[in-house]
Structure 1
Amino acid sequence: MSKTILISNRLPVTIKKEGDKPVFQESIGGLATGLKSYQQKSGALWIGWSGVAEESLSEKEQQAIDETLQSDYSCVPVTLTKKDIDDYYYGFSNKTIWPLFHYFINKVHYNARTWEAYEEVNTKFFKVADRLMDDRDTVWIHDYQLMLLPQMIRDKYPNAKIGFFLHIPFPSYELFRTLIWREEILRGMLGADLIGFHTYDYVRHFFSTCTRLLGTSRKIHTVKYEDRQIHVGAFPMGIDYNFFTQHITDAPTEESFKKMASEKTILSIDRLDYTKGIPEKIRSFKRLLVKYPQYRGKVRFNLIVAPSREKVASYEELKQQISELVSSVNGMFGTVDWMPIWFYFQSFSQEELISFYRYSDVLLVTPLRDGMNLVAKEYTAARTDLQGMIVISETAGAASELGEGVIVNPNDYAAVAEGIRTALEMPTDEKKARNKMMQERLKRYNVHFWVNTFLGRLEQLTQIKNAAVPVSLDRDQTQLIRAYQRAKKRIIFLDYDGTLVGFARTPELAHPDLKLKQLLRTLSASPKNTVVIASGRDKESLTQWFSDLNLHMVSSHGLWVLHPGQKWKMTMQLNNEWKKAIYPILQMNTDRMPGSFIEVKDYSLAWHYRLCEPEAIDLWLPSIKANLMNMTGSLNLQILQGKKVLEVKDNRISKGSAVPIFMRNQNYDFILGVGDDRTDEDLFAALPADAFSIKVGPDDTRAAYRLKSWQSVRALLTQMAETEKNADPQIESAQSHL
């Protein structure tokens, strides 16, 4: 029976050693709270670090903790050493990923040692999951500490349902590309079936980054990567709305709050972090007191900062800066009877925070960058009297759902000061109307809705995936290899670009490497094999690259055919008069699209745009295609949409039209056709029903099978070549002399 496994850096249970005894305490963070009820109802397992370093526990203690976590909390711990924590968590996660993803590029540290630790710890998480998993399970992985884990699980469990959610912002391409290990991170995330972010801005940045760095294509809400389609969406995380509206607190601070009734109260609650804009809040409050002296003695600012990452030097410096700014404002404006800022450098219980919420007139939520910020939602929900008002940064993820609040630029102290004044002076009826709309939204889109929506979408996507054809050959090629071994007469059709080699920046750079030529030499040396390179390339390039091999070749999408020891022959007679009309159109678009260029072939024109800005292509490509279609409608021409290329050619030519030349009067008992592009669909259509037709990549196809990449094609051909070597020692001997 399939099961659900939740994986995050920390378990929802924190363990602390008090003397020799471990103490278990349930966490109250947003993720732990949000998934707690789901875990209890579903019986899901939760994998994560317990919070205690391996060296701090004896083997007996570790075993006892493991048993308690599993039996009482359905949790399975990952064991981390102090070095793991220093290098993986405090190092790569919080000195590289955290500042970069929050746009603090000046604070990013690059260190090969911490990157290796990040890889190693992700592997540790995988090994724990591997002990528990089977191929039918659902896995939901959380946050930036585990971005390599989805692909690790995918490699071993290709049919598992894998979701990944990033709880922090995903940065723009311009920032992300500065990351040294950028492609490894992206590929790790793309192991998931469903990737979730808090806002569509982050989704847009992710799409753009994948396109630019990995050359992926996008279709509506999906990234097409290798042989898979990964859905990417915005799933704003909610709160347990009923908890904050129905919870009756008897916190010991209740009486002290009642004594504040004569003062207007501004509240700020943050973890100690440079992304939260805490110094900027203090300066904005100071600006309020300077510009509007009537608030002096009338307004109290409760500044709560929870200790965090105290091992990181920059955080200690930030704490010192905050303390100095608070002292400066209090010294400048404070009196015997009034202190402007009350600074609490401590953590409060959830009950105490609810008391703060209910007795604060304004919540100041002005991070410089924040993935979501659930405090803003908690405050809005807790104000059941509809009399509070949030002042929220436009760069906080929650701002997209709390648009009725006062939205400000956190870097503009004057604007934040004005926002505070607006919130303080807002008429009662207006506050009620705004809060009512926000509360209705938060009530509908609560944390349970978030969990159910994400997991429901994951289930839906994987049902579609499991019902789809063609069959992937990446894990099991037994049937094909056995058919190859049994066959006495074989024909193999191979596309070139994207099938035997990866795409290069320009076509001339994608020449065959030595390993590929050795592989093709082995296959074509077998007397049983007819190997055909069927490409859109010009015949001159194919001749230059492969004339020394015993290969058959098809160039220009079927226009030219070459058999070993013979000359190129045209499959039909054509003329090039149409080029005079089409070339100027392509040239005009080349001039206005930096990075594009025209490849002139014998009887076709190819307009390449691989190096162009993706947004510019998205904008202009439809009109370019429409213009070309208007010109070609009466000229018997076809516009082929390839991988980052538009090719105009005679519509009578196709790779499929060349197939009968090789199949006529032959009795092949093994037929293989492999290609990655739209042009190869004509080849697949022309092959017999019992052929092994293989599509490379994720696009829709009529092929019967699929491989994820050109590397997978090479691996398959290598297996076939090994069969030839084992069957014919002379081939192996010839190969060794290359």
Structure 2
Amino acid sequence: MSSSPLIITSYHLPEVLFGEAGGKGGGPVEEWQAALAAQVQATQGVWVGGHTQNLEESGKLRDEVCQVPLEKQERDLAYTGACKAGLWPLFHSMADRSVFHEEHWVAYRKVNDKYAESALEAAKTLIQKRPDCVPVVWVHDYHLMEVPNIVRRRAKEDKVNVKIGFFMHIPFPPWDMVKIHPWKDFFLQGVLGSDLVAFQCQDYLLNFIDCCERGLGTRVDRKLGIVEHDAGGRNVKLRSMPVGVPFDKFNDLANQVPQSSHLKQDIQTVLCVDSLDFTKGLTYRFAAYERFLEKYHTHRGKVVLIQICLPSRSGQGNQLMEALYNQVQSINNKYANDSWTPVQLVDGPLPREEMVALYRDVDVALITPLRDGMNLYAKEFVACRKNLDNPGVLILSPFIGAADLMQEALMANPYEPNKVCDTLYNALTMNIAEAEVRMINLRGREKSNDLNNWMSGFLAGLQDLENSETGSSKGLECIQLNDFDSILDKYMNVPGWEKLCLLLDYDGTLAPHGSHPDFTILPQNTREVLERLAGMSNVFVSVITGRSIPDIRNKVGIDNITYAGNHGIDIVHPDGSKFMIPMPPEVEEKAKWLLQKLQTECCVEGAWVENKGVVLAFHHEAWKEKGSIDPLKKEKILTRARDLMTEAGFRIGMSDGGLVTEAKPPVKWNKGNAAIYILRSAFGVNWSQNIRIIYAGDDLTDEDAMNALKGLAYNFRVVNSGLVQTVADHRLPDTKGVETMLRWVEQFLKSRK
């Protein structure tokens, strides 16, 4: 197992770290937390998490624990609101129960920021103690989906070398569910900040890949389990890694504990263990059991169902318990007699020894949630079935992660009470020979795929990433021509259109950003393919940029294309005709005043102002690197620059990933308006059926055009960071991807002829 210091990051700090758990109520969650805690201690790592108490004041704070300070309001909004009211039902495919409020998500992001900062500080502290180490930050579950991306970004800024892993304990739903969430872009890209992302089963992994491809428009490889993300096309590895249980521990305990007091002689017992949560389908299960008693009346008086109800953090436990109590009371009133009660409802956890005895001696375990990430109670049941004279039978819902591998279990759809009823009958009447074969196979697999195997497998997966960097592990190649067969073919390969219109940004799209605008040079290969395309009679090319017209014409150097400068304020066609948005007469004078003020008051520490005529660009790229300028001074200067722009009556815009603040004249005109104007002037009003349009850009100014062209064009966004919100249809990792796209277009048009 990896010797790198391990930084576990989870929303809750486990009680096992403080020696307060074990015995009651911990269950499978406590087991994996205990295993990870042992690994944290073995690697001299840290566990980062939250706690309802102030650990320092209570004297519980330990060297391997980092408590994230959260206010009660933050916990309420982020955990109870964003997580439990929004993400939890949605990720269990119960969208009608989800509630989305912006204040919840703002709090979620703020909390994730705090956890990420704590994890990174822990990494820095560990590196100070062991300068040659590369800490592993292992983030857990849906509460902290933005943490990986924040850690990656800040680690890069601070030049801290870490490996980042993420494990999703709950289900990951299909795209039809995920697209409902208003802030899906944030958590999808947040998770993709990891080096390795793992899920409980293959279905959840494929759902995530599908969401990345369809929701983010990024390149994926389902066979290799890879998603391309971030500037430059970083490969994120995805794996299916089901959590196991400490098999030998349960197996040994099953040899030691006495028989449970809940069991009665000559009465078959069905065991159910669930937290009090709507996702567990408890009311459905009791309805199916009642149907069983009605249909198989010979089993009345001979079968008891024990339902153990564990506490839930969802906040709906009391309400659900009351409903269950009424339902159980109705069943018992209908069927019970003086010597037999068909349902026993246990409110709260039982001691560990009692649970093991039940796992070992009951006849059937009925595990039928409506949806569940894994459900480790099924695995604990199997680990305790030592006595093959009474092998027991496991019934699973097909909608839980455990069903993916535990194929020897009987499957029953919880939404079909008759199916559950009949499956329960088959389980109770199954001959021992069949039950024995099924249980032997289940036990063999669970022994191999135990908790230690899961933990070591995940850490080994992160370790393998180091091998992939030296070329021994296959990843996605740089984007190739044939990749665009699947990306663009559906849009381009339709009959009836006559001309292709290419609308292209320059900086960061056609040409990679240089350290200074003068050093942003169009690559020769891109220039050549663009020139060939511009020379085709069925292609119209326009470059829409924030640069001035003379500057962009000089940079591109191709005559027969339309140039739109200053984000579309100035437009020049190949025939020399021009268009410029009418400006208020005082704009030029105000621009001169603003230029002088910015140069005098704000151009420090390498910052400078680019004069584009009626548009001014305040460049502060020199402040990009951490430590290049005092943060307070930086904010003060930026605030002053924005105040001056506002005072002059100019609109404020951002471009180049937030490294340039632009002062734009007070007219309602942007790249979107410019794109529509160019299309109308070139093709008239009724052009939509006669042309195909491809737009490519790399920043917020291009989003204006993509929004205006949504549904009319195929939009590409060149990504420059790990967190980009875009309406584009597809993302490209760099300017090389744009060149490849243009070469594919050229090839397609030649073959179309």
The answer for unaligned runs of 5 or more in structure 2 is 128-133, 474-483, 485-490, 493-499, 566-571, 576-687, 695-709, 715-728, 745-753
Displacement of 1:544 in angstroms is: 7.8
Assess, with a 3 A threshold, how the Cα gap between structure 1 residues 308 and 600 changes in structure 2: closer, same or farther. closer
- Are 1:83 and 2:89 an aligned pair? no
Q: Which residue of 2 aligns with 1:18?
A: none
The question of 1:127 aligning with 2:127 is answered: no
Asked if structure 1 preserves the Cα contact closer than 8 Å seen for 2:522 and 2:555, the reply is no
Q: Is the 8 A contact 1:362 1:388 kept in 2?
A: yes
Alignment of 1:321-332 (within 5 A): 321-332=323-334
1:378 aligned to which of 372, 377, 380: 380
- 1:434 paired with 2:400, answer no
Pairing partner for 1:305 from 301, 305, 309: 309
Q: Which has the higher contact order (CA 8 A, sep 6+)?
A: 2
Distance in 1 of aligned mates of 2:34 and 2:107: 29
Opposite residue 679 of structure 1, the aligned amino acid is T
Decide which of 215, 238, 242 is 2:248's aligned counterpart. 242
Structure 1 stretch 381-390 or stretch 186-195: which is displaced more?
381-390
The alignment's C-alpha RMSD in Å is: 4.3
Superposed, 1:46-445 pairs within 5 Å as: 46-50=47-51, 52-54=52-54, 60-61=57-58, 64-66=59-61, 69-70=62-63, 74-134=64-124, 136-158=134-156, 159-219=161-221, 220-226=224-230, 227=232, 228-248=234-254, 254=259, 256-257=261-262, 260-309=264-313, 312=315, 314-386=316-388, 387-445=391-449
CA distance in 2, matches of 1:432, 1:516: 63
Q: Is the 8 A contact 1:531 1:551 kept in 2?
A: no
The offset of 1:531, in angstroms, is 5.8
In the aligned structure 2, how far is the partner of 1:185 from the partner of 1:177?
Answer: 12
Residues 289 and 116 (structure 1), Cα distance of their counterparts in 2 relative to 1, 3 Å cut? same
Judge which range, 241-250 or 375-384, deviates more: 241-250
Distance 1:24 1:317, change over 3 A: closer
Pair 1:425–1:453, CA change in 2 (3 A): same
CA contact (8 A) 1:34 1:239 kept: no
**Letter matched to residue 534 of structure 2:** D
Equivalent position of 1:550 in the other structure: 551
CA contact (8 A) 1:3 1:44 kept: yes
Equivalent-residue separation in structure 1 for 2:509 and 2:299 (angstroms): 77
Inter-CA distance 681–262: structure 2 relative to 1 (3 Å threshold): same
Measured against aligned partners, the alpha-carbon deviations of 1:484-524 in whole angstroms (never above 9, x if no partner) come to xxxxxxxxxxxxxx9xxxxxx9986955499999x999978
Give the C-alpha shift of residue 185 in structure 1: 0.5
SS in 1 for 2:305: strand
Structure 2: distance between partners of 1:520 and 1:193: 26
Q: Cα gap change, 1:113/1:459 in structure 2, threshold over 3 Å: closer, same or farther? A: same
* TM-score of the superposed pair, with normalisation by structure 1: 0.65
Matches within 5 A, 1:584-599: 599=692
DSSP 3-state at the match of 1:254: coil
Task: State the Cα deviation string for residues 563-596 of structure 1 (Å, max 9, x = none).
Answer: 99x9999xxxxxxxxxxxxxxxxxxxxxxxxx99
Shift of 1:261: 2.4
Residues 371 and 542 of structure 1: CA distance in aligned 2, closer, same or farther (over 3 Å): same
The CA distance in 2 between the partners of 1:266 and 1:32, in whole Å, is: 28
Change (3 A) 1:245 1:115: same
Amino acid at match of 2:100: Y
Which of the numbers 675, 683, 687 marks the counterpart of 2:736?
A: 675
CA distance in 1, matches of 2:272, 2:548: 73
The alpha-carbon distance between structure 1 residues 320 and 75, as it changes in their structure 2 partners (threshold 3 A), is same
Amino acid at match of 2:88: W
**Which of 534, 537, 545 does residue 538 from structure 1 map onto?**
534
The 3 A distance-change label for structure 1 pair 543 and 84 is closer
Q: TM-score, normalised by structure 2?
A: 0.64
Q: What is the aligned partner in structure 2 of residue 648 from structure 1?
A: none
The within-5 A match list for 1:658-669 is none
Give the letter aligned to residue 327 of structure 1.
Answer: Q
Which secondary structure does the structure 1 equivalent of 2:549 belong to? Answer: coil
Contact 1:531 1:552 in 2 (8 A): no
Residue 302 of structure 1 aligns to a residue whose secondary structure is strand
Specify every segment of 5 or more residues in structure 1 that has no aligned partner in the other structure, as ranges. 16-21, 470-497, 499-504, 570-594, 602-609, 615-642, 646-672, 684-738
Alignment: residue pair count: 539
* Partners of 2:98 and 2:216 in 1: CA distance: 23
Give the distance between the partners of 2:107 and 2:555, measured in 1 at CA: 49
**Against the structure 1 CA distance between its residues 361 and 46, is the aligned structure 2 distance closer, same or farther, given a 3 Å change threshold?**
same
Please give the secondary structure, in 1, of the residue aligned with 2:88: helix
Q: CA deviation at 1:88?
A: 1.6
Give the 3-state SS of the residue equivalent to 1:224 in structure 2. strand
Cα displacement (A) at 1:530 = 7.0
Distance between the aligned counterparts of 2:446 and 2:520, measured in 1?
Answer: 66
CA deviation map 1:163-218 (0-9, x unaligned): 10000110000110000110001110000011000111111111111011111111
Q: Secondary structure at the match of 2:21?
A: strand
The secondary structure found in structure 2 opposite 1:550 is helix
Partners of 2:243 and 2:451 within 8 A in 1: yes
Q: In the TM superposition, what whole-angstrom CA distance separates every residue of 1:451-470 from its partner, at most 9, and x where no partner exists? A: 1111111111134237799x
Q: Answer yes or no: is the 8 Å Cα contact 1:13–1:24 preserved in 2.
A: yes
Q: Match of 1:42, as an amino acid?
A: T
The structural deviation recorded for 1:95 is 0.7
How far residue 349 of structure 1 moved from its aligned partner, in angstroms, is 2.5
SS at match of 1:65: coil
CA deviations 1:261-303 (Å, max 9, x no partner) are 2100000000000001111110110010000000100001111
Q: How many angstroms apart in 1 are the aligned matches of 2:255 and 2:515?
A: 78
Counterpart CA distance in 2 for 1:139 and 1:180 is: 28
The AA in structure 1 aligned to 2:352 is Q
SS of the aligned residue for 2:551 comes to: coil
